[in-house]
């Protein structure tokens, strides 16, 4: 019995995400929430012949009801980027949306696993943490920024330059944050091992870091990544669900390092320093983050990139924390 | 190696359908065609970590390239219904869209399998057939109207009133056409016997027939079924792909009955009469429609429903055929 809520279910990401989670046979109940259009999305998705029940909740008044009895909350709500915008430009609008939603989660399903998609993740996850702390229900093991798409892009972009590689089995750890140069793919730690020249490493690293911009540009004002983001978020949700069932699942995610202080030592030494949050490969369990997996043997280039990422991420995190403390 | 083209890939159905077919590991090449927005959709979907290559084709000048060297074309292109509209109201717009797309397929990949989603399917499939005949490349075994959603709805709606039933495992044959009372669910032939009162059978039948309207109404002007239709379309495409790879697959679909004239005798006797097209359960193979799967005996209620469906369908089919015959070349 797994109940999943999607907050922002009628949006560009929310709709295909609702479809993918309706197709996930481990989900027993799907709760779709949005400010508009969600009755139609729910009716549509409810016709799919999997056994889960679909409910919709529309408008602020129904938000708490949407969250009753929920095990996993995924939050795609918010506005997407337009060409020329950074994820930070979205901050003011999305910060306030995420804050309101997490307040309701704290009230109605404080033990739920929370997966935040709403950008800028580097700041909205800290906002979520502060709200949960204020409400006295904070559990660093149960809060995640969904960075799966960076790892998905890493695998796929490497295949683009090495077409003999099977992208479905290539695993590339990605650490840091979820925007531009805070994204640090650790290609030297890819499994199976791959050989790239330094130039190739730099080009593909840059492409992974700005993969989101690639889509924003191609959409030319019509939005940002929706379909690939939905796929990544569905994969994240599925990993959490499988870990509930006892499977040992490793998933990359942007987490509070307090979720596993001793596990976090290696990434702190590599450059995360005393940052409160960092994307790392996480071993999931019934409690959420069970362990942060150690990272060792990065290249000098990657070590440099981690430090650059950490410096940038510190500002993004502080902005999120500051926003909540001053509202 | 299976190449699939989605014509109308940037639309409400096309986008989630593109995602689902990108996730299908049997697809090696995905050609996404539309008249607007498709570069962005293709770029988005191309980031998904499966091995297929995605190519975007934008506008009529690129249509021929989009449908060259493809094994399967799925056509969701067209406008969706708004509340109060029947699928027939879409006819004029969608008829001409489908005609143009099928002409390009006939010219560039005449052996491709064609799956039509664009409504009204009861008329657009006959349009496609006439275009293919006019081009001298018609193979009734390779043309399909995608009616999978009716069968999906049948399973799910049964579960809505019998919650102990596993809807994914329940198979309900649905015959006839793809709109209102041309849709005939054969609940008496469900793969798991379900005990329903006559009233329940009638209500369920009605709900399955007007499932599309349910979504159009709930969307209140914002469109018709997109996500569930994308799922159904991808399930249909997957059946074709598996059949192309040598598997024997059964899929419900709206086909030219001459694809299996012998096998069609049963449905003709049940009420399809001499209609050229009818939705039936089809066994697929490398050639497309291998045979029509026999049904067995139906109830009186179902038998009557088939006759009513056939009558309405006759006029929908004629509308499609006449559209092509009276269009200038």
Under the banding of pLDDT at 50, 70 and 90, the label for residue A92 is confident
pLDDT score of B329 more than 60: no
Mean pLDDT to the nearest integer, A232-246: 97
The predicted complex's ipTM stands at 0.96
pLDDT score of A114 more than 60: yes
Give yes or no for A149 touching B (CB within 8 A). Answer: yes
Could you report the per-residue pLDDT of B195-214, keeping only the tens digit for each?
999 999 999 999 999 999 99
Longest dimension (CA), chain B: 56
Which of A44, A212, A223, A224 to probe the B interface (max B CBs under 10 A)? A44
Helix axes A300-325, A198-209, angle to 10 degrees: 20
Q: Do B228 and A44 touch (CB under 8 A)?
A: yes
Q: Do B155 and A155 touch (CB under 8 A)?
A: no
Could you report the per-residue pLDDT of A10-36, keeping only the tens digit for each?
999 999 999 999 999 999 999 999 999
pLDDT score of B328 more than 80: no
Whole-number Å distance between alpha carbons of B179 and B147:
10
Longest dimension (CA), chain A: 56
**Which residue shows structure tokens 């979820």?**
A178
- End-to-end C-alpha distance for chain B, whole angstroms: 35
Q: What is the pLDDT of residue B122?
A: 97
How far, rounded to the nearest angstrom, does the alpha carbon of residue B190 sit from its chain's CA centroid? 21
User: B159 contacts in A (CB within 8 Å)?
Assistant: 49, 51
User: A231 contacts in B (CB within 8 Å)?
Assistant: 19, 23, 48
Q: Which of A47, A111, A178, A206 is catalytic?
A: A178
Question: 3-state class of B20 per DSSP?
Answer: helix
Q: Could you say which of B40, B51, B170 has the minimum Cβ distance to residue A168?
A: B51
Mean pLDDT (chain B) is: 96
Could you report the per-residue pLDDT of A196-228, keeping only the tens digit for each?
999 999 999 999 999 999 999 999 999 999 999
Under the banding of pLDDT at 50, 70 and 90, the label for residue B163 is very high
Under the banding of pLDDT at 50, 70 and 90, the label for residue A57 is very high
Q: Could you say which of A42, A46, A227 has the minimum Cβ distance to residue B45?
A: A227
Indicate if B206 belongs to the active site.
Answer: no
Under the banding of pLDDT at 50, 70 and 90, the label for residue A81 is confident
Which of these, A275, A250, A238, lies nearest to A191 by C-alpha position? A250
Question: 3-state class of B209 per DSSP?
Answer: helix
Q: What is the pLDDT of residue B85?
A: 79
Q: Residue B98 contacts by C-beta under 8 Å, 6 or more apart in sequence?
A: B75, B77, B78, B116, B118, B124, B127, B128
Could you report the per-residue pLDDT of A161-172, keeping only the tens digit for each?
999 999 999 999
Tokens of A121: 């993740």
Q: Do A227 and B44 touch (CB under 8 A)?
A: yes
Under the banding of pLDDT at 50, 70 and 90, the label for residue A280 is very high
Q: Do B16 and A49 touch (CB under 8 A)?
A: no
Q: Do A25 and B168 touch (CB under 8 A)?
A: yes
pLDDT score of B87 more than 90: no
Which of B10, B35, B44 to probe the A interface (max A CBs under 10 A)? B44
Q: Could you say which of B16, B167, B220 has the minimum Cβ distance to residue A49?
A: B167
pLDDT score of A88 more than 80: no
Give yes or no for A219 touching B (CB within 8 A). Answer: yes
User: A152 contacts in B (CB within 8 Å)?
Assistant: 47-49
Q: Do A47 and B215 touch (CB under 8 A)?
A: yes
Q: What is the pLDDT of residue A163?
A: 95
Give yes or no for A19 touching B (CB within 8 A). Answer: yes
Which of A227, A234, A238, A252 to probe the B interface (max B CBs under 10 A)? A227
Whole-number Å distance between alpha carbons of A200 and B237:
37
DSSP bridge partners of B185? B174
- Any idea which of A77-81, A213-217, B19-23, B289-293 has the lowest mean pLDDT? A77-81
Q: Do B228 and A48 touch (CB under 8 A)?
A: yes
Q: What is the pLDDT of residue A6?
A: 98
Could you report the per-residue pLDDT of B292-313, keeping only the tens digit for each?
999 999 999 999 999 999 999 9
pLDDT score of B88 more than 90: no
Q: Could you say which of A40, A42, A49 has the minimum Cβ distance to residue B222?
A: A40
Give yes or no for B223 touching A (CB within 8 A). Answer: yes
Mean pLDDT (chain A) is: 96
pLDDT score of B94 more than 70: yes
pLDDT score of B86 more than 90: no
Count of pairs with CB atoms under 8 A, one residue in A, one in B: 140
Among residues of chain A, what percentage have pLDDT more than 70? 100
């Amino acid at each position: 019995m797994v109940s999943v809520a999607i907050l922002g279910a009628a949006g560009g990401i929310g709709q295909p995400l609702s479809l993918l989670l309706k197709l996930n046979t481990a989900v027993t109940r799907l709760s779709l929430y949005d400010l508009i259009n969600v009755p139609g999305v729910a009716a549509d998705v409810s016709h799919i012949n999997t056994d889960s029940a679909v409910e919709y909740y529309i408008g602020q008044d129904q938000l708490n009801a949407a969250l009753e009895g929920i095990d996993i909350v995924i939050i795609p709500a918010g506005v997407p980027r337009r060409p020329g915008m950074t994820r930070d430009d979205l901050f003011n609008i999305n910060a306030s949306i995420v804050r309101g939603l997490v307040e309701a989660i704290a009230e109605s399903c404080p033990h739920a696993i929370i997966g935040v998609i709403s950008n800028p993740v580097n700041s909205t996850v800290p906002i979520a943490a502060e709200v949960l702390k204020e409400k006295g229900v904070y559990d660093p093991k149960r809060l995640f920024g969904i960075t799966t798409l960076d790892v998905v892009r890493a695998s796929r972009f490497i295949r683009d330059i090495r077409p003999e590689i099977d992208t479905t089995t290539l695993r590339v750890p990605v650490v840091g944050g979820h925007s531009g140069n805070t994204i640090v793919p650790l290609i030297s730690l890819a499994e199976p091992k791959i050989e790239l020249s330094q130039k190739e490493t730099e080009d593909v690293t840059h492409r992974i870091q700005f993969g989101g911009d690639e889509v924003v540009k191609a959409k030319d004002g019509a939005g940002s990544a929706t379909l690939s983001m939905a796929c990544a978020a569905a994969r994240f949700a599925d990993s959490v669900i499988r870990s509930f069932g006892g499977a040992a699942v490793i998933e990359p995610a942007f987490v509070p390092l307090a979720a596993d202080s001793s596990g976090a030592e290696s990434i702190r030494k590599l450059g995360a320093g005393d940052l409160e949050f960092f994307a790392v490969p996480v071993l999931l369990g019934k409690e959420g983050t069970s362990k942060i997996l150690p990272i060792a043997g990065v290249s000098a280039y990657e070590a440099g990139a981690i430090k650059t990422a950490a410096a940038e991420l510190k500002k993004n995190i502080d902005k999120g924390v500051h926003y909540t403390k001053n509202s | 190696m299976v190449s699939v083209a989605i014509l109308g890939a940037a639309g409400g159905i096309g986008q989630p359908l593109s995602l689902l077919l990108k996730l299908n590991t049997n697809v090696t090449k995905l050609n996404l065609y539309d008249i607007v927005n498709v570069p962005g959709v293709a770029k988005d979907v191309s980031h998904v970590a499966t091995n297929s290559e995605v190519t975007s084709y934008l506008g009529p000048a690129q249509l021929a390239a989009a449908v060259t060297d493809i094994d399967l074309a799925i056509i969701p292109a067209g406008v969706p219904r708004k509340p109060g509209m029947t699928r027939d109201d879409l006819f004029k717009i969608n008829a001409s869209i489908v005609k143009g797309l099928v002409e390009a397929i006939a010219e560039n990949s005449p052996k491709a399998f064609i799956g039509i989603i664009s409504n009204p399917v009861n008329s657009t499939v006959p349009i496609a057939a006439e275009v293919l005949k006019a081009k001298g490349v018609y193979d009734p075994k390779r043309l399909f109207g995608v009616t999978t959603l009716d069968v999906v709805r049948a399973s799910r709606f049964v579960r809505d009133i019998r919650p102990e039933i596993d809807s994914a495992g329940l198979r309900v044959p649905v015959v006839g056409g793809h709109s209102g009372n041309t849709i005939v669910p054969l609940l008496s032939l469900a793969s798991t016997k379900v005990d329903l009162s006559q009233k329940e059978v009638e209500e369920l039948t009605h709900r399955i027939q007007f499932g599309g309207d349910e979504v159009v109404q709930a969307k209140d002007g914002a469109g018709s079924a997109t996500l569930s239709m994308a799922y159904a379309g991808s399930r249909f495409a997957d059946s074709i792909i598996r059949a192309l790879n040598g598997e024997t697959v059964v899929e419900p679909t709206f086909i030219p009955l001459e694809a299996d004239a012998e096998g069609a005798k049963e449905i003709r006797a049940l009420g399809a009469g001499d209609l050229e097209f009818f939705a039936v359960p089809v066994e697929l193979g490398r050639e497309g429609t291998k045979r029509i799967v026999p049904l067995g005996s139906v109830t009186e209620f179902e038998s009557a429903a088939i006759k009513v469906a056939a009558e309405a369908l006759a006029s929908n089919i004629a509308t499609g055929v006449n559209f092509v015959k009276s269009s200038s070349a």
